[in-house]
Amino acid sequence: MSDDDLLDRLPTSYAVALRLERDDASAELISRALGLPVEAVPGHLAVAHAKLAALGHGSGTASFE
């Protein structure tokens, strides 16, 4: 299963956050895209990585290699 297939299985806000992070977007850009306070981005990304890991993507790190 490709990285994008795994991301497509996540709730939209988590998938968007991880795709933006993968593309080196800043926390400010991610916050604007998701309508979150910038302070909430690290926590949102942490949950997104945990959900991705639960789908079987190893460690769920930002590196989608």
User: Which has more pLDDT, 31 or 2?
Assistant: 31
In a domain, residue 61? The reply is no
- Is the pLDDT confidence value at 37 over 90? yes
Domain count, the chain: 1
Asked if 60 and 50 touch (Cβ cutoff 8 Å), the reply is yes
In a domain, residue 60? The reply is no
Residue 59's pLDDT band (boundaries 50, 70, 90)?
very low
In a domain, residue 15? The reply is yes
Longest Cα separation, the chain: 32
pTM over 0.85: no
Residue 55's pLDDT band (boundaries 50, 70, 90)?
confident
In a domain, residue 32? The reply is yes
| CA atoms of 1 and 43, how far apart (whole Å) | 26
Q: What is the DSSP letter of 47?
A: H
